[in-house]
Amino acid sequence: MEHTSDVLERFLRYVRIDTTSSDAHADRVPSSECQFDLANLLADELRALGAQDVAVSEHAYVTAQIPPSAGAEDRPHLGLIAHLDTTEVAPGAGVNPHIVSYTGGDLVCGEVDGRPVSMSPEQLPALDGLVGEDLVCTDGTTLLGGDDKAGVAEIMSLIARLAEHPELPHPGIAVCFCPDEEIGHGAALLDVPAFGCAYAYTVDGGPIGELEWECFNACQVTVSIEGRSIHTGDAKGRMVNAANLLHDLHALLPTAERPEHTEGYEGFIHLENMSATVSYAQARYIIRDHDAGSFQEKIDLVKRAAAFLNATLDRERVQVEVKQQYRNMAEIVREHPELIDVAKEAFAARGVEPNVIPIRGGTDGAQLSFRGLPCPNLSTGGYCMHGVNEFIPVRSLETMVDVLETLVGLLA
């Protein structure tokens, strides 16, 4: 590459900062102290760019205000939101990004133990459309962190562009970088009235052009089973094997409703982890569905499976705990179609075909929409998130900054 653009330079710096959130410490915010490292850096950079009211809260929320351009003072303020943390399902410390000039065939991002870490066009057909592109990849040992440091970098690069070119039209913009999105925190501690916006967008999507205003209804289900351990020689009629009961419960759930067998609007029941001995077993599931009725049916199915097993036992040994996480923001955002229309216009103006799809997941915008801040989701440009094959085209990073510039201009 002949030069490094502002957004690429920022992205390469940000991904090197470990911000892995921790589900084991979800009772505190942030769940990992390292998220403050990026939060404080971003606050300093925002101040240097002339942003107002820049703050880092005790919970690692970064907030700032960008005054409107001349003539746009009366326009409603816009929120732009991305999250600081990266998922713990793949290593997030020691990220070593590099740029691969992709010429086709397998995309090899690195080598581990003498074996290439690669992705083929058969596994990811979108690669066929990326021949000739410069792709930011991992070295094969960690995730990249584009979810959501690409969104962070794109918003920061937009703010830098507006600071350098104050003549560019834009409404007042409130920026928020949130912690712990990956563990379902959902920007719960953002002071929405103080944020001061009529609407917002999260920049937290996938390939360039994605525009999402529907997401899953989501919950976490924990199944706990208390067994009775007896010497196997004396076990008949006395042992209660919690590990076997967990196996039996899982077998009662439909195989076809696992995420590896679903797509589009199809929901799922996903076994995230499990541990089991004769004395005690526990499994954690996540349940997702766009339709509220089907979502409840899946929860009820797990409860019925537990009740079925309990009916065969000496007492109620199988417990089910349901923790609601977020709801489908379509219930709110469908009342604001103008937010979808203007985003489509912004993409099209920059030569990007808008791709309006349901999120098979959630964003901070899901909870914020129900708290009075309608909040669709925009693409970042990334692929293969949450794994060592994650990458993002440089052109997508740069184009998303252009799209955001057009979007704020249209809203002005």
| Residues catalogued as catalytic | 85, 181
Reading the block at residue 90, the tokens are: 């793949």
Q: For strand 377-378 and strand 210-212, is the pairing parallel, antiparallel, or unpaired?
A: antiparallel
What does the DSSP 8-state code read for residue 275? E
Cα–Cα dist 61/309, whole Å: 44
Cα–Cα dist 245/243, whole Å: 5
DSSP string, 150-203: HHHHHHHHHHHHHHH-TTS----EEEEEES-GGGT-TTTT--HHHHT-SEEEEE
- How far, rounded to the nearest angstrom, does the alpha carbon of residue 334 sit from its chain's CA centroid? 21
DSSP string, 46-101: HHHTT-EEEEE-TT--EEEEEPPPTT-TTSPPEEEEEE--B-SSS--SS---EEEE
Question: Looking at the DSSP assignment, which residues form a beta bridge with residue 52?
Answer: 65
Reading the block at residue 288, the tokens are: 């997702």
Three-state DSSP state, 115: strand
Q: Are 254 and 272 in contact (CB under 8 A)?
A: no
Angle at 380 between CA 375 and CA 381, to 5 degrees: 145
Number of residues that this document lists for the chain: 412
CA dist 327 → 181, 204, 286, 306 (Å): 14, 17, 13, 25
CA dist 14 → 45, 84, 90, 195, 206 (Å): 12, 10, 17, 24, 18
Angle at 364 between CA 351 and CA 395, to 5 degrees: 25
